[in-house]
Structure 1
């Protein structure tokens, strides 16, 4: 069967190839990646508008690089610059921050102690110089606009109420009727309806904190410390812009996570933790509760149902990992699922989704658990915190934490012995004036021929529009002859010798079986 015949078969079988439940950044990014790969996508979102509640406020290096590779970096940069202007107008810091402004369990990291000499930091291209503070709601708007340009259908105010999955597809039930699709992707948050109805295991550890993050109007705040503060009761944050507060108390989880957060509730928590009795909350602009509930689905796929983002894993927000972890899920899953639904790759390709993403999710959960342990107010935790603080105040300690928080060293365990295999592709500056990242805007795999090697290029024959082939020298990497970069930007093969030895296997693994000459 030809690729075209496969496409027609899938076109006739379903209303949509994929239904995505949830139009947060993860669901929208997944929808964009699916559409880029040729899938017909419907996104269902129970909310009628973008949620303006204060949530994630930054993106890490892998997310910034992914957005750059899809041509979205200018829009993200514009949001950051507008935020800087607002901060300056409101009395906050109006200058660009250092390359990072991070903490570990509220222990601030000193940029002057960071050693960025490792080549991995030099290989990021324009994404490495971008301010990373982007409110979640603004990122959602950017991705919604892109989804629209790619032909994704988004229905707001429509909630998934149930579904029936079988070997051939999924019938998704909503208040507006049923939809038949090949696949259902649950990107519907930590209390995911899709995850619960599908029966995914969700093991983990129970919460021990109640946390609040809010933007409020305060009086009597002169005695509040700026930034992160640890007290005998818990932790609180004041700033970096006026009215932004965060509190953490080790008194167990809240009785009701869904109840509106009141000014009195925030004021009481801030007074208890800070020890400043005269501080008052006169108005709540936006507020949310959180806990350190840390759970992860044992697998991210059950038959025709898949999970991504908070639907697959939940944890405390410390370190700003949640949004970024979900964006990585979407980037990894999107091109693979698109290839399967279009008949261009076997269903077994989806097995690599859990295999590659689950270990990173497990690390994030433990990373946040470690921070909770250091934030506890008991004497043992405070003694350990003092030891860790001393380590953080060294160049190796700060550098290690920045490397991990930034995500710059994330990689997958892929077959191959070359040091680049499994890593995010370096943003090589090519002799034709382009960069590698710019060549990934199409969402297709990239075979980069750096030595004008006909033998290397011959391996690409039969992969049609699944693969872009670029021949261009890279003066900065004279020993590197070629790279095979997956659609998600990770290196599947790299070679330092001519001819493309060992290239055939990763091509077939990630792009499917090549077509015979003369067939599409």
Structure 2
């Protein structure tokens, strides 16, 4: 028997598997496809997902496999009319090291995650299709299409918008399908395209349609192809094919000599806006597209799934290792269901903005990129895991924990707060020398589940607050304790006199509600 069975090996399932495996939680991850996909699909992680990937220890490999977003080059009636860089002027900040997302083929991102997962001895089991399950009280037994049983304490469906696990759960998937909003997609290889800069995302907009080509990082001639579908004589959409893509390109780009030598992973995308009414039923949970689907505007799809998994991973691990009560799993739905609703609303609104923008010369997909879509503002102030604070600071429990540059005073080496957070533990920050005794006592009592760092305490050592950025990011003026969750959200903020609250918090996870 395993502790957690994950169905689906896309970015959501792999993120969850990696988070569990690095905590030494027995996990299996199965995938119904017989081989790993080579599809580029989602265009890459946003700034918040890059922070998650840093927490998982793979961000350098991800950055090496991709590239920064390229400026958007826009055309009207085949004529270049404008370039736009939605990230122009943006720079990393001490509290937010990633000022933009990353372009990377989804298959490459998955490869990075699989490689790190394999380092923990966990491998994706291909060609394994879960078709049913039953709960036994203390476990759930899934069965594959050949009748093989897989017993686990928990089952998590990360198997996409057509999720089998969701259907087996009987969870509703309410929303709308916008049949009038169609797009064809694929990965294409071009010849004769030397005149098309691979340092731009090309977007041709006309009154009767559009074609978009974005270079796929790590390749020399492959592109993401998106377009409004070709229509037949009756006005119906023509199924995607290399020939139809070629006709669409010729019609809108109007560049002679460019040929689509290859076209793979062709699909027709219909805008769906749907989400579940619950994330959990007993020992079975959902994450990613299995729980929510929405327009692609703003690039929130894959990213919301990665962030679902990062919220769920530490909670599952705490429950299966006995560090927390099972009711802790209820906070996964409590925190992430409102985020799913926000994502649907935001992406739908951004789609409307983009559709209006492309009607005008100079308009393009950049209209769908806003501060909201970087996901750095997402927090859980409403959560039962976010108790009230008596410390006067603009941050509140439930908020994302900011980064800051510090210096380890014992080694005189730089250490960012994100580096201190990285790993399967809670982190307790003590601002000011008045927290030193509370840190020591709490660390002794909490053991390996907690790491402590004294900040800005002068001769007491700890972490030097370079430039005062840590205090500025957390809004701390005097002495205060900040407990940071394993998913890098603030658990509580307290005075040194309230240090007992840290241990109460850790010992009470999921238990009071279960009593």
State how far apart, in whole Å, the 2-side matches of 1:459 and 1:102 are: 55
Q: 1:351 to 1:226 in 2, by over 3 A?
A: closer
SS in 2 for 1:49: coil
Is the Cα contact below 8 Å between 2:47 and 2:99 reproduced in 1?
Answer: no
Q: Cα deviations across residues 164-197 of structure 1 (Å, max 9, x unaligned)?
A: 1243221010126101111100001111110111
Change (3 A) 1:448 1:58: same
TM norm structure 2 = 0.78
Cα displacement (A) at 1:267: 3.2
Q: Give 1:40 deviation, angstroms.
A: 0.8
Q: 1:137 aligns with which of 99, 107, 111?
A: 107
1 or 2, which has the higher strand percentage?
Answer: 2
> Residue deviations 1:267-323, cap 9 Å, x none?
345456668899764431443332211111111111111001111111232222111
Q: Which has the higher contact order (CA 8 A, sep 6+)?
A: 1
Aligned partner of 2:141 in structure 1 is 171
> What pairs up with 1:71-220 in 2 under 5 angstroms?
71-80=57-66, 110-111=85-86, 121-125=93-97, 128=98, 132-174=102-144, 175=146, 177-208=148-179, 209-218=181-190
Match of 2:506 in 1: 507
1:248 to 2:219 alignment: no
Q: Does 1:231 align with 2:206?
A: yes
Deviation at 1:401, TM superposition (A): 4.9
Cα deviation digits, residues 252-275 of structure 1 (max 9, x gap) = 9x9999x9x521232345456668
Change (3 A) 1:133 1:461: same
Alpha carbons of structure 1 residues 163 and 500: separation in structure 2 relative to 1, 3 Å: same
TM-score w.r.t. structure 1 length?
0.78
How many residue pairs are counted as aligned between the two chains? Answer: 462
**Does structure 1 residue 364 correspond to structure 2 residue 363?**
no
Partner Cα distance (1:97, 1:315) in 2: 22
Distance 2:354 2:370 in 1: 19
More divergent stretch after superposition (46-55 vs 447-456): 447-456
The match for 2:376 among 386, 408, 414 is 408
Distance 1:108 1:311, change over 3 A: farther
CA RMSD for the aligned pairs?
Answer: 3.8
Tell me which residue corresponds to 1:517: none
Partner of 1:49: 35
| Residue aligned with 2:493, SS | strand
Gaps of 5+ in 1: 1-14, 85-95, 514-520
Q: State the alpha-carbon separation in 2 of the partners of residues 419 and 101 from structure 1.
A: 36
Q: Name the CA distance, whole Å, in 1 between partners of 2:328 and 2:87.
A: 44
Contact 1:170 1:183 in 2 (8 A): yes
Matched, 1:428 2:409: no
Q: Distance in 2 between matches of 1:76 and 1:226?
A: 21
1:100-135 superposed Cα distances (whole Å, 9 cap, x missing partner): 9799xxx9864476566xxx943124xx26871221
Pair 1:348-2:347 in alignment:
no
Specify the SS of the correspondent of 2:173: coil
* Contact 2:201/2:214, CA 8 A, preserved across alignment: yes
Instruction: Please say if residues 429 and 453 of structure 2, whose CA atoms lie closer than 8 Å, have aligned partners that are also in contact.
Output: yes
Q: Is the 8 A contact 2:204 2:210 kept in 1?
A: yes
How far apart in 1 are the matches of 2:304 and 2:42? 12
Residue 327, structure 1, aligned to residue 306, structure 2 = yes
Cα deviations across residues 397-433 of structure 1 (Å, max 9, x unaligned)?
Answer: x8x9531121122222133344333222222323313
**8 Å CA contact 2:7, 2:29 repeated in 1:** yes
What is the aligned partner in structure 2 of residue 93 from structure 1? none
Structure 1: how far apart are the matches of 2:250 and 2:37?
28
